[in-house]
Structures are given as C-alpha cells and as structure tokens.
Structure 1
Amino acid sequence: MTFVPRMESRIEGFSAIGNLKCQVWDGVVADLWDVSCGEKAEGYYVSPDPRLFVTLKVDGGGAFFVEGAKGELRRHDRAFSMAYIPAGVPIRGRVEGLSHIRHLDLHFDAATLTRRFGGSLDRDALRVSRFQFRDDKIAALAGLIAAECDSGQPMHDLYGEGLLNALFVSLFEIDRPNPARQRAPLSRHKLRLVTEYMEAHCLDKIRLADLSALTGLSETAVSHAFKAATGMAPHRWQMQARVARIQAMMTHEAASLGDIAEAAGFFDQAHLTRVFKSIVGVTPGAWKAAHHRQ
C-alpha cells in the first residue's frame, strides 16, 4: 500500500508559488514548496506521521518561528535550518519580515522506517522533537532530494531511496548492527539521580543536556545508558511520569482536562489525550470513568 501523508493544517497569509513539486518513494513523500509570505502569515500543523522540515531558501530580513507543544519558540532565519516533528506533535509557525520561503517537507511512515533499519533504529528517537537545528550532512542530502523533486526527469528510485537512507541514518544516528555490542547501564546512584530529577520535573521540558550535567556523561551516552538500565528512553520515561501525575490531578483536583493539559505542558487537550492513550491504552475520560467505578 502506498504511504499517503495525512497532515492537518490551518494556514493564513501563505500562498503557494506555482504547483507543489513532489516525489514518492517507499514509505516517504517529499514535498518541495515555494511560498510567498504575507505580513502576518501563520499556520497550525499536526500529523499522525513524523516529518522533517528543511528551509532551503529564505528572502527578507526576518525569520520563521516554530512553536512546539510546550510553548518552546524557535527561530529559523537561515537556509538549511531544520525541524524534526514526531507523529502527533502539533506545532504553530509564523513569519516576521520574510517575503518568500522555499522548503522541503519529508513525510514518512514509521513502520516502513522500522522495516528498513530493523533493530538498528531506536524507536524512542522517533518521539523526540528537534527544533531549529543544523546538520551539514542532512543539509546536503536534503538539497539533493529537493533537486529530485524539482527535476522533470528524476533518476532511478534507488537513487532517491539511497539519499533517504543516508539522511535517516544521520537524522536518527542509526548505527551498523552489532549483536556483540552491549550498552552499559547507568549505575544505581546515577539512575536514582536521574529518575528523581525527572520525577520532580516531569511537567517541565527536560533536555538531555540536563541529564548529562547530572551524570557527567555525554548526552548520547546518558540516553543509551538510561535505556540500558530501564528499557526505555528518557523521553518515554518522562511521559509515563507525566501521565502518572496527570492521573493524580484528575483524581484529586476539580480542574477541567483542558486546564490540566495546559498545566502539564501539552499543546492542547487533544495532544494530552493522544499521549495519555499511547501510554495508558485508553483516553483520559475512559480512565477517569473506570477509576470512579472502582
């Protein structure tokens, strides 16, 4: 079955220049957009599939701002500034002082990516948002993929899929399979430091840099060591702790689910519901009803 992106968007002040240029590969859709920007151009976007956004060209002296689910605002004002948005994470974008943006959107199917890379892909990495970052390898590959979209005569599919494979390897730091390699887990002392910190700050944005400072390990090392000790990535552990805190709030407080979503750092009530269901297995409403019957 051909993969079809299902992104919901509401935009104002953006106008496409010419027709959308698109290429489709196995489990990936690449969209190349040229967009003119009005004075107060803005948009809301959410998709059940992960995507990578890469600015290729910006005209004007301003910037494009991306706001993530926790209100984190990031400025994109240069070509090849990037944002990775996981499945189900809503974002808002707005423009100040730009007249034109050329950008590449890569929408991809997580199941196809898993099939392609197998156990070498850290599935938890797919759930971590990354706003306003730059990577020279990914930039070069994105430029070549955009050229394929722009070409009237694209090359063999294996060429495009090779570019995508290289891009995903860089984006998600996919290692060569090595069954003999084992990650050393965090020591009991460091694991206690990290989990107590994450429990205390589960409603806040926790960065790998924070955990790195606690343990004295690099960001990559602390992420792998935490997963080796607990069986899950730090972000997933934090989401479980956050949902547990939300369950306590729903049990002991009279606040509405919308108010709880805001207090817990979610973009909106729908975002909270998606995360809650992914961890608990049911919606907050269903959980609360079952809890009250007990």
Structure 2
Amino acid sequence: MSQDPEFVGQTEGITPVAPPQWRRLDGVMGIFWEARGARGANGYYLSNHPRISLFFNDVSSIRISNDPGAARQPGRPMARVLYIPAGMPMWTRFTADHAFSHLDIHLHRDRLLKMLVPALGRSAALEVLARPVETAETRVIDTLAGLLLDEIRAPSRHPLHAETLVAGMVTGLLDLGNAEPDRAGAQLTKRQMRKLVACFRAGGGHGLSVSDMSRAVGLSESWFSHLFKNTTGTTPLQWQLRQRVELAQGLLSGSGLSVADVAGRLGFSDQAHLTKVFRHVTGETPAAWRRTHDAARPALDRPRGPV
C-alpha cells in the first residue's frame, strides 16, 4: 500500500476496496485510501519523512503501537488524526472487522522546515517536527482535509491552493507552542552573542545580512532582530559597524597598513567610506585616531609604514 519509495507499508489482512487516489505537490504527496481490515489484521509503517494520517470514520477497533517490543500487544486506541515524525515506526492491529477511509499526507522534511523556520527558528522547528501528535479534536482539520481531498480527486485550482490547505493542517496539528513568544525583556544568550562575533570575525569584517545572523543562532529574522536590539541596544547593522571599526582600529594600531589598505581588507568600498563610518562611531578620522594612538605608545612599539 505504498506509492513512495521512502515509505514502507507492510500489511496483512487489509484489503483496498478501491484504487488509491493521489496527488503530488511541492514537497507533499497526498494519498486517499479506502480499505477493509479483518479482525486480527495488522500493519507496519515507516517513513523517511514526516506524515499526517487522518481517518474519516471511527477507528475505535484499531490499536496502535510505536514500540517494537509491543508490536503484537494490544497497544493504545488509534486516534483519528496523527502526525508521525520521520523515522518513527508504527504498528497497527484490528480487534474487529472494520471498513475505513483515510488520507495520508507525506511531507518532505525540508518543505516543512521552509514553512516553520521563519516563524520559529531552525532549532525550535526541528524540535516541533520530532514530536508526534495524536488527537481526536478534528473539526478544523476535518474541514481542511475534506477540501484537500477534493483537490486530490479532481484538481480544480492552482496547486498552491492545495499546498496552502496542507500548510493549514500542519500548523493546526503540530505542537507549535505559544502563539506569540514573551517578548518583554527577552535577550540573546551569551553563547549566541559569542557565536555572532565569531561568525562576523570569520568573515574578515565583511558585512553579514540579518538573515545570515539569525540563521547562525537558529532564530527567525523578526524574533532575532527583536532580541538583538534588547541585548545590544542597537540594530544588527549598527552593531556590525562598531565591530568593523574595532577591527579597523586593531589594524591601524598593529600594522603599517595605510588607511586605504585597511578599508580594502575590511570590505569598505574605499578609504572615504571607512573614514565616514569611523568618524561616525568614534568622532574622529582613522588618520587622526592613529596619530593620537601612536603618540601615546612608546616609540619602539610603533609600526613602520605609510599613514
């Protein structure tokens, strides 16, 4: 009963009563099954990707287990809607003859991450995808599943419509936590700030986008920007300018490089650009800062080279 080479479905005593109907979308495949299971029938299912399974009728005569040692034990009652993480095995057993219909939605992990990471951040999104969900509260999910089934059986709209229905089922079913994080006083951790500094310095002082910075610490761009402002009192751009000026100061005081050479090394467009940023941050030009700094150092410690 499998249309996907990355999905294993082995059944005994379960017989389809109609050909499966399926549709492949962007990172999604939906399959509608109608089948009958005899008392004692069983199944084993394992997928390399997450999936949602929704039953359109009563499933009280089906038992489910995810424990290999309990595969032939009674298990727990089957829920009408399940989210099964990638790599989680599932065994089922029928306690009575039962006719049923259900919709399987196979979800590519990368497609789910693309959907969830902007709102949750990568680390939180990965945690969400690892948590199984079983529920009988299906009113909203039933509605979306019915609309999706119409688009599987007889597509009438752009594929984006069906993909949006799947997204609604995903966000309605998965355990996403609080709808809105507590923003009051929240800050980046010291470890996250050290990681940002390390990423910035590894780039040789060249600018990082907010997207690059948020991805480095596993947060969405909007939440990262909020935490960053709480933590540093500045925007990511303002912080980077100060970091670049500190790097420039290190080169000006510790080498014989000219101001133009320093500008080139740190990715400024030219000497004038570095001078403008340097003056904005420190209140003086790089040349003036170097003269003041060098005057305060012993003569033997001063670098040799052009100014």
TM-score (norm 2): 0.51
Q: Which amino acid aligns with 1:105?
A: D
Q: Which runs of 5+ in 1 are unaligned?
A: 186-294
Q: Which amino acid aligns with 1:136?
A: R
Query: What secondary structure is seen at the aligned counterpart in 2 of 1:40?
Result: strand
* 1:146-225 equivalent positions in 2, closer than 5 A: 146-151=149-154, 153-172=155-174, 174=176, 181=183
Identity, % of aligned positions:
24
Taking a change above 3 Å as real, the CA distance of residues 44 and 35 of structure 1, as seen in their structure-2 partners, is: same
Q: Which structure has the larger Rg over C-alpha atoms?
A: 2
Structure 1 position 76, deviation (Å): 3.1
Contact 1:17 1:36 in 2 (8 A): yes
Residue number in structure 1 paired with 2:40? 40
Taking a change above 3 Å as real, the CA distance of residues 32 and 24 of structure 1, as seen in their structure-2 partners, is: same
Residue number in structure 1 paired with 2:108? 109
Contact 1:83 1:131 in 2 (8 A): yes
Taking a change above 3 Å as real, the CA distance of residues 118 and 39 of structure 1, as seen in their structure-2 partners, is: same
Query: What secondary structure is seen at the aligned counterpart in 2 of 1:143?
Result: helix
Residue number in structure 1 paired with 2:65? 67
Taking a change above 3 Å as real, the CA distance of residues 16 and 113 of structure 1, as seen in their structure-2 partners, is: same
In 1: Cα distance, 2:118 partner to 2:179 partner: 8
Structure 1 position 150, deviation (Å): 2.4
In 1: Cα distance, 2:179 partner to 2:98 partner: 46
Query: What secondary structure is seen at the aligned counterpart in 2 of 1:57?
Result: coil
Q: Which has the higher contact order (CA 8 A, sep 6+)?
A: 1
Contact 1:51 1:107 in 2 (8 A): yes
In 2: Cα distance, 1:183 partner to 1:73 partner: 46
* 1:76-87 equivalent positions in 2, closer than 5 A: 76=78, 81-87=80-86
Taking a change above 3 Å as real, the CA distance of residues 86 and 108 of structure 1, as seen in their structure-2 partners, is: same
1:17-54, Cα deviation, whole Å (9 max, x unpaired): 12110011110100100001122210111111111111
In 1: Cα distance, 2:101 partner to 2:186 partner: 44
Query: What secondary structure is seen at the aligned counterpart in 2 of 1:128?
Result: coil
Q: Which runs of 5+ in 2 are unaligned?
A: 188-307
Residue number in structure 2 paired with 1:56? 56
Contact 1:30 1:104 in 2 (8 A): yes
1:124-155, Cα deviation, whole Å (9 max, x unpaired): 0111122344232222111211222222x442
Q: Which amino acid aligns with 1:172?
A: L
In 1: Cα distance, 2:179 partner to 2:57 partner: 36
Tell me the number of residue pairs that the alignment of Structure 1 and Structure 2 aligns: 177
In 1: Cα distance, 2:14 partner to 2:107 partner: 24
Residue number in structure 2 paired with 1:199? none
Q: Which amino acid aligns with 1:37?
A: G
TM-score (norm 1): 0.53
Moved over 4 A (4+): 173-180, 182-185
In 1: Cα distance, 2:163 partner to 2:138 partner: 19
Taking a change above 3 Å as real, the CA distance of residues 175 and 165 of structure 1, as seen in their structure-2 partners, is: farther
In 1: Cα distance, 2:185 partner to 2:143 partner: 31
User: RMSD of aligned C-alpha atoms?
Assistant: 3.1
In 2: Cα distance, 1:4 partner to 1:168 partner: 20
In 2: Cα distance, 1:27 partner to 1:4 partner: 12
In 2: Cα distance, 1:143 partner to 1:99 partner: 21
Residue number in structure 2 paired with 1:223? none
Query: What secondary structure is seen at the aligned counterpart in 2 of 1:139?
Result: helix
**More strand by proportion, 1 or 2?**
1
Residue number in structure 2 paired with 1:284? none
Contact 2:133 2:173 in 1 (8 A): no
